Structures are given as structure tokens and as C-alpha cells.
Structure 1
Amino acid sequence: MTDLSFPRPNTLSPTPIPCPTVDSLDGILPDEPLLMMGAGPVPIPAAVAHANSVVINHLGDTMARVINQVKTMARYVFQTRSNWVLGVAGPGSAAMEMAVSNLAWPGTRVLSVVNGFFSDRMAEMARRIGATVTTLDVADREIASLDTLARTIERDRPEIVTIVHGETSNTVWNRQLKDIVRIAKAAGALVVVDAVCTLSTMPLDMDAWGIDVVITGGQKGLSSIPGVSLIAFSDDAWDRVRTRTAPNTHWCLDATLAENFWHKAGYHYTAPVSGVLALHEALRLVCTETLEKRFARHQRCSLALQAGIAALGLRLYTPEDCRLNSVVGIEVPAGLTPRDVCHHISRHYQVEISGSFGLPIVRIGQMGEQCREHHLFRTVHALGRTMRDLNAKVDLPAGVAALEESLSASTRDALGASR
């Protein structure tokens, strides 16, 4: 007869773990909400926040309709007619890993253009799956030389080239991306582009530029929640994914399995339903505004912010000809650290900005909902007051005045152009 009684406790086992007493979120979060003006995540619109509170069947007809609309809107934002648009349950880095792990395997020749923290991350991902990785290392605050890139590609004959459109770590914009893609494609390579902070904030045309894979996260330019991302494959890239002979070692990130959910309304794993609904609303708001108007808003606000910072008497980190619009880097005055500045502005002025992986800078985001005039004035004022509090010499009235003048001038120009 089977003994169904519970086993006797082991007298040598430790004392049971007691039930903890913890604070509610009301006791942890600040009384006044923080204005998120760092390098991400960003403030989210009310429609996105509402969608993120809804749960539906992840395999039902309603979800299938949502997914179809997400793909349609994403094609507009990516500027691609490719069928192979997928969502990723994870941050932008998960989409990055989906791109790398599906296109490369042991022995694949990969060239990574590395000019910062995130471009180096793609190289590291490729190394971890056994690819043969070469890096084209670019000096800080510079962009890759097209001649050097061409020589490197001719020498190493990579099958895959990876590059970041906007390197958020040091706020460098790889403005020659279109030419880099042209050179790589002419040599027969597939090109993977990280557009996590630039998609919908700066022009990027996947099909016209010949890009094979574009990845983005939800929590930056799209102004959705962290944790649900997007990826688009060209037909050539998808053919490589589909015809590979060894299975992807990443089960959750296997694009051919993800296709079952994103294109066949079938099961892969339980999708982040609320996050997908939030992404739907974020994309809908982008489409309502249109890319053209959104690009103009981001440029207008970023240039105004840069003018305000310069008038404060602070130095912008990146040269103007390769300066990223969507994340602005600011050199920290001598005697201060990025942590000093970020901690003070958050604690005393309820504005969150970012440091940057060991660089002597702080970063202010200009992505999606961050690009609103009232956010700019609050941020410039808080930054100026923080610098004063920390005994750095700044001209706060001049900074606010320069911000106002830049915004007013761009409004006058827009009104004049419309007449």
C-alpha cells in the first residue's frame, strides 16, 4: 500500500523562512512623480498607460486583430514593406540578441562597427554564440570612416555587419548610416541596425537604405513601456533565418518559433499581452502624428534644449556634426561627478537624468513624450539649479532665455513656411 502521508520534517533542516514585512509602493515611490528625462525609459501617454492595464487572451481573435495592426503600424514606422515584422518579449537588447542569434552561428564572420557601449554589446553577443567577430573600433565622439570601413570589409569579407544608428552611451549619431549600408551590401553582407533610440525620432528608411534588420525598444522614441520590443527582417535576412541548418540555441528568441505567434496566431509562449496592447497604442499615436511631424518636433525640441544648455555655460559632449538629437550629452563641470548631478536633480527637483557607463557626462533624453516644451523648461531650470546648488558656475536666466528664443524662432519659421 502506498504511503501518502507527508514526509517527516528533517530535524537537521534550518528554521523555516519567515514571511517578510515590506513597504507598499506608496511607501517607496516619491510623493511627487519623477519626470523621466534620462536616456530611457520615457514618460508614457495616458492611452499607453491605460492599455498597459488591460489583460486579454493572448491567443484569441481580439489579440490576433491587435497583432495585425501592430505589424501594419510598425511597417510604417520602420518604413518597410517586409512581411517579417515581429515583437519581442524583452527589452531592446533582447531584440538585438534575436537579430544576432538568428543570423549568426559558430564560424559566421561578423563585423561590428563599435563606437560606444551598445555597439560593443552586439559584438559581444555574436562572440557568445561562437561567431568570428571583427570590430571596427571608432574613437569616442567620432563616426566611422567610410574608407576604413570599405577596406575592413574587403579584407574580412563579413557575412553580417552590425552598427548602432544612435549610440546612446556617448550621444553619437552615425549620420553616414545609409552609405555604410551601401558599402556593406555591395560586398554581400547583411546589415543589422540598432535603432533603439532613433526609430520615430530621426529619419531611418529601412527599405530605401537597404537595411536587413532593424531593432528597437518600446521605451524610448515610441513612448511605450519597457519590456516589449520590435524587430523587422528583410526578405534576404529572413531567408538566412529560415534556411539555417542548426537550430537557434535561444528557444525564446528563435524567430521561426516567434513567427508562429506573430504571423499564424499560434502558440510560442504566453505573450506579454498588456505590453503588446501598450505598444499598439504607442504606435497608433506615432501614426496619428505622422513621422514627418514627429521628426520635426524632435529636432525642434532637441536643438532648443542644446541651445539652453550651451547658454547655461555647460559644454555639449559630442561635436555638432555627429550629435544625436534623441539623447543629449553634457560634460560635467570639474569637481563634480555624474552621480552627484543625477542624485541631486532627482532628489531636489524630481527630474531624472542619466549618467553614462563611466563617461564624465550626464545625458538628457529627447525621445517621444520627453519632447514637450513644458518638459524642456522644467529640465533646464532643474539642471541649472542643481549646478548652482553644487557650486558650479552657470547662467540660469540665460539658459532659460535661450531655450525660449530657440523654440519661438522655430515656431516663427514654421508659421512663415505655412503661409
Structure 2
Amino acid sequence: MTDNTRPTDSLTHQRAAAAAAALPVSCPSVDPLTSILPEEPLLMMGAGPVPIPDAVAKANSVVINHLGDTMARVIDQVKTMARYVFQTRSNWVLGVAGPGSAAMEMAVSNLAWPGTRVLSIVNGFFSARMAEMARRVGAEVATLEMADREIVSLDTLAQAIERTRPEIVTVVHGETSNTVWNRQLQDIVRVAKTVGALVVVDAVCTLSTMPLDMDAWGIDVVITGGQKGLSSIPGVSLIAFSDAAWERVRERTVPNTHWCLDAILAENFWHNAGYHYTAPVSGVLALHEALRLVCTETLEKRFARHQRCSLALQSGVMALGLELYTPEACRLNSVVGIALPASVTPRDVCNHISRQYQVEIAGSFGLPIVRIGQMGEQCREHHLFRTVHALGRTMCDLGADVDLPAGVAALEESLSAAGHR
């Protein structure tokens, strides 16, 4: 019998078999998302991310060139709208391909380096994160630590400012971890300016949900994420530098250790339509639409909507028979903290309300609380009624003593009273 196999065919098969045998990891078999995600979409009512409007979701499905005239026009409009939301005339508005923490790290790593004196006002998880970032770039970091659910005394701050003579002061406007609002932010900035310090403000959960006026309050850097008050997707953030802060960035002589977060390199894309790295174009388009919706609503109406809905939610929670975690004097409206009875744990509540009622709320870094967000698209009446009902039913299911009809009634009463003012 004649062997018709060509030598080249045999060699090809041998090489393919050898290559397959050489693969160190076998090809996996995984489940499609349709079998992982719940059949009914979850209502995202935690501390972020939040539900996104249809216009934002549609924009996030589009891919365009990250350079060129179309993207340059999009970026120009993003910066214009962002200046309105930040309430600044500064030219130095940049986007960040990363979460709000990446914007935070851009602020810290561009303004601080080995030997820089930094004072961090710490009253929760995220304000401590800024201090840690400053330590990692070699700054000399002093912390002014507050007891849980307390805000800094201005006299205490003034003493710390005089003692440490910081070049940079960091503070969180709304501490989402324990729902504390640093409501005297404008005064904090004023005290910091007595020694010429630049002030960096984390406004991740407060920008567009509560008043914050960058220029009028004298803030030097404001950072925010896309996934909270702006109701955009996670992973694309915004940062704004004052002229004074940008001058420090430009004049630094110590190279920035973060290449991707180097503000001078980022300027080439965000201000010169040039290349830095491949931008997350879909996320930038989503951010454009999110900002456009904020501008269409206007900040004044948006602030009023957030306050009305948050206060109504707080009324409903208290009428259920549950306690709000943070004292009213420093209570954050954007994220509402709820103290739990000893009989239930945050994990129990979060798991049950998600599985049984398709509502997502959040625990918080070891604290005996759950948190409900009131940011952007979360602040809609129908979301509030569904959330209060689901929370009340969950507490009942877990054996806690709550008054569900009273909670829903108080929510309705608060919303109706606010609507008739």
C-alpha cells in the first residue's frame, strides 16, 4: 500500500501536537453571564455604583478612536461641563482612567513627594486612604484623627495647622464609610490657607449631590468618581486643580513615580488632543452623557432633589424603628447609615435583601451598620418606596422588631410635604 501522507503534513501535525502538549494551562469552560447574573436586575441602592440612565448606558456601548477630532470635541465638552459641576473657572480639569481612588492618587502623587509636609484630617476609611497614599510617595504625614461619627473642631485644626505647618491638607467632604459629612469644609479651607497650604478634597460621593463651590471656597484640588452622584459607570473619574495647585505640579523637580497618573503627561491628552495612553473611550462617552444630564437638570434642582429624597428616606428608616448611625449635626445625605439591632449582622441584611427582594445595599468596613445611597439615579421616589419596603420586610424576615407600615407612611408623608413646599 502506498503511503500518500506528505512529509510536510506529518511535520505540521507533530508541531501542533507538541504545541498543545506544551500548553501549561488547559482551556477553561466557564458559565455565561446569563447564568451568573440574577434573572431580575438588582436595584443598586448601596454606596455605589448606582443605577445609570439609558443615555449613559447607550454611550457606554460605543467605541470610537481615542484620538482625532471627534474625541477632541467630546473631551472639550466634558471639561466645560465638569467646570460647572465643580464650580470652577480653572483650566486644569482632567479625566482619570480609573476609580475615584485613582483620581485621589493623582492628586496626592502630583502634589507631594519625599519631604512634603502633609496634614490629613482623618474621620473614616477613605480619609485614612489619602494619608496612606501620601506616606507611600514619601511625604511627612501628620494625621488629625477624629473619633467615629465626629468632625474636626476648627480650634483643634488651627492648632494642628500651626504645629505642623503643612504644605498640603487632605480632607473628605463626605466620608461614605461611616456617613459623616464634614459640613464646615469652607472653614477648614480657610484655616489651612493661613499657612499657605493647598487643600485636596475628596468629593466622590458629594459632587452634584450637595453644594460644593471649588472657587468660592478656595479649594485647590477636587476629585470625584463617575459611579456615584454623576450616575456614570465606575472606572472613569474627574479631577480639577486650581491655578496654584497646577503651578506646584508644573514646578516640581522630583519626577512623579506614577507614569499613568502624571498630570503633566495627562495634560497632553486632556488639553492638547495628543497621546498619553489609550483612553477608555466608551467610559468617557458615558461620562459626557452623565454630565450633560446634570447640566440639563441644573445643580440647584439636583441638590434639592437629593435633599428631599434623602430626608424622606431617613424619615422612613426612623419610622421603621431603626436608628440612623450618624448624629444629625454631621449626617451625610448622600449615603445614609443605619445602625442595626444586635440580633442581625450587616452581612445577613445585605444578603437577604439582595436574594429575596433584588435590592442591593451595603455594609461598611466592620461597622455594625448598613448603608443606603442617595446619589444620582438612586434619588427617585419609586426607588425609595421599593427600598424601604424591602428593608422593612428583610428585618421582619430576620426576626427584628420593625413597623413596616409606619416606615412606608413616613416616607410618603415626607415626600408629599416636601413636594408641596
Tell me, yes or no, whether TM beats 0.5: yes
- Classify the secondary structure of the residue corresponding to 1:329: strand
Partner of 1:370: 378
Partner of 2:248: 240
Partner of 2:8: none
Partner of 2:142: 134
Q: Do structure 1's residue 344 and structure 2's residue 352 form an aligned pair?
A: yes
Partner amino acid, structure 1, of 2:407? G
- Structure-2 separation of matches of 1:374 and 1:7: 62
CA RMSD of aligned residues (A): 1.5
- Classify the secondary structure of the residue corresponding to 1:100: helix
> Aligned-pair distance for 1:18?
1.4
- Structure-2 separation of matches of 1:213 and 1:8: 57
Counterpart among 387, 390, 405 of residue 379 in structure 1: 387
- Structure-2 separation of matches of 1:175 and 1:120: 18
Partner amino acid, structure 2, of 1:377? F
Counterpart among 3, 13, 33 of residue 41 in structure 2: 33
- Structure-1 separation of matches of 2:201 and 2:104: 9
Partner of 1:67: 75
Which structure has the bigger radius of gyration?
A: 2
Partner of 1:222: 230
Give the TM-score taking structure 2 as reference length.
0.95
Partner of 1:91: 99
Partner of 2:332: 324
Name the count of aligned residue pairs: 408
Counterpart among 315, 319, 333 of residue 311 in structure 1: 319
Percent identical: 85
Q: Do structure 1's residue 397 and structure 2's residue 405 form an aligned pair?
A: yes
> Aligned-pair distance for 1:16?
3.6
Deviations 1:223-272 (A, max 9, x none): 00000000000000000000000110000000000000000000000000
Counterpart among 218, 221, 241 of residue 213 in structure 1: 221
Partner of 2:176: 168
Counterpart among 49, 57, 68 of residue 65 in structure 2: 57
Partner of 1:22: 30
Counterpart among 245, 253, 271 of residue 263 in structure 1: 271
Partner of 2:309: 301
Partner of 1:416: none
> Aligned-pair distance for 1:393?
0.3
- Classify the secondary structure of the residue corresponding to 2:313: helix
- Structure-1 separation of matches of 2:261 and 2:394: 43
> Aligned-pair distance for 1:7?
9.4
Partner of 1:250: 258
Partner of 1:155: 163
Partner amino acid, structure 2, of 1:176? Q
Partner of 2:114: 106
Partner of 1:116: 124
Counterpart among 361, 368, 379 of residue 360 in structure 1: 368
Deviations 1:28-72 (A, max 9, x none): 000000000000000000000000000000001000000000000
- Structure-1 separation of matches of 2:277 and 2:24: 34
Q: Do structure 1's residue 289 and structure 2's residue 300 form an aligned pair?
A: no
Partner amino acid, structure 2, of 1:216? T
- Structure-1 separation of matches of 2:110 and 2:365: 28
- Structure-2 separation of matches of 1:162 and 1:212: 10
- Classify the secondary structure of the residue corresponding to 1:58: coil
Deviations 1:127-162 (A, max 9, x none): 011100000000100100000000000011000000
The unaligned stretches of length 5 or more in structure 1 are 414-419
Partner amino acid, structure 2, of 1:369? E
The unaligned stretches of length 5 or more in structure 2 are 1-11
Partner amino acid, structure 2, of 1:118? F
Partner of 1:187: 195
